[in-house]
Amino acid sequence: MPKKARSNKTQNRRITFKLEASEAKEAILVGDFNSWDLKKHTMKKDNKGRWSKIVTLAPGRYEYKFFVDGQWQNDPNNDQMVANSFGTLNNILTV
């Protein structure tokens, strides 16, 4: 009997996205890994005004942005970007 293929779960990685926006009331992590869903990855703010969200991702290339108080924002800690279909830029993350 053939061995079962190894699960891809062992290759998944926990990625922590961080954003400094102490004045913001809401920050959401949005990208192709969550179908650009504004409800899926709401970020949490610590007592120093830093937002973060941990996401488990399979190896690959992902595009993402932050949605902060109703405005799209790029990740200031990531200079890897690509043009999107709206004439703006998305950040790129390679896992």
Q: How many distinct structural domains can be found in the chain?
A: 1
For residue 4, is pLDDT > 80? no
Domain that holds residue 29: 11-94
> Which CATH number covers residue 68?
2.60.40.10
**pTM, rounded to two decimals:** 0.86
Percent residues over pLDDT 70 in the chain: 89
- pLDDT digit string, tens, across residues 9-29: 568 999 999 999 999 999 999
pLDDT in tens, 54-85: 999 999 999 999 999 999 999 999 999 999 99
Give yes or no for a contact between 75 and 31, defined as CB atoms under 8 angstroms apart: no
Higher pLDDT, residue 19 or 8: 19
Please tell me the distance from the alpha carbon of residue 73 to that of residue 69, in angstroms, as a whole number.
10
